[in-house]
Homo-oligomer: A and B are copies of this chain.
Amino acid sequence: MTDAESPTPGTDPADRKRGGGAKLAYETLRDEILDLVLAPGEPIDEASLAERLAMSRTPVREALVRLAGEGLVTMLPNRSTIVAPVDFPNLYAFFDALTLMYRVTTRLAAEFHQPADLDAIRARQAVFARAVQAGDTAAMITHNRDFHAAIAEAGRNSYYTQLFVRLLDEGRRILRLYYYPSFSAQMPHPYILEHEAIIAAVADRDVELCDTLAREHADQIVRQIQEMIARDRRQHLRL
């Protein structure tokens, strides 16, 4: 396929700093993977991607190696790199880890947060609430991620934060996979209220309450995803 790929506007190799090529490739690919612009399992061709971003294959390759380290792509030796497939058999492990990270990061936030952290968290929550009111599911998913990432940051444990962000991103991909087609009749106002409760508990430095709220919040999200998957499976059986 020597198709003329869309040249992707805004990528002028001239006004790009030294080292900015790999960064651009990384961020572009990352966004497209998480937004499901690139479907799980879809092959990524280094040459065409390099052409699309107006750069050589070297920085593209660097981006792919980084993404492989984060589990977002799988590099098959001597064969094409593919977008990491969603690992359905291991969804249980995913839910388990996600729930634990919700709890741990929120606990630590209650313990170690500083005044500025609360401002950042509240700002994220405001953006999230706006997305909910606008009914913008895609934005909701993203900003929910950012909200919890901000809480994790306040906990000041980079090991947890890194794993949590990775899990939230993976969840973002799963949600996009199912949430879009699902009926949005029931607006998820509960999430906003739960977020508010979590913020209050963090501000109060109530560690145990944070743990409980985080666990409930996580369980609710896990349940929602499982229901969406189950509904999807029923639909497929009917066809």
Q: How far is the CA of A212 from the CA of B93 in the complex (A)?
A: 22
Q: Mark A142-178, 1 if CB is under 8 A from B, else 0.
A: 0000000000000011111001001100000000000
Chain A interface, number of residues (Cβ within 8 angstroms): 28
* Nearest-Cβ distance from residue A172 to partner chain B, whole angstroms: 16
Indicate if A96 sits at the interface (CB-CB under 8 A): yes
Q: Mark A93-115, 1 if CB is under 8 A from B, else 0.
A: 11011001000100010000000
Contact among B77, B158, B166 for A19, CB-based, below 8 A: B77
* Nearest-Cβ distance from residue A11 to partner chain B, whole angstroms: 20
Q: Is the interface of A mostly helix, strand, loop or mixed?
A: helix
Indicate if A208 sits at the interface (CB-CB under 8 A): no
* Nearest-Cβ distance from residue A133 to partner chain B, whole angstroms: 33
Q: B-contacting residues of A (Cβ < 8 Å)?
A: 18-19, 58, 61-62, 65-66, 68-70, 77-78, 90, 93-94, 96-97, 100, 104, 108, 156-160, 163, 166-167
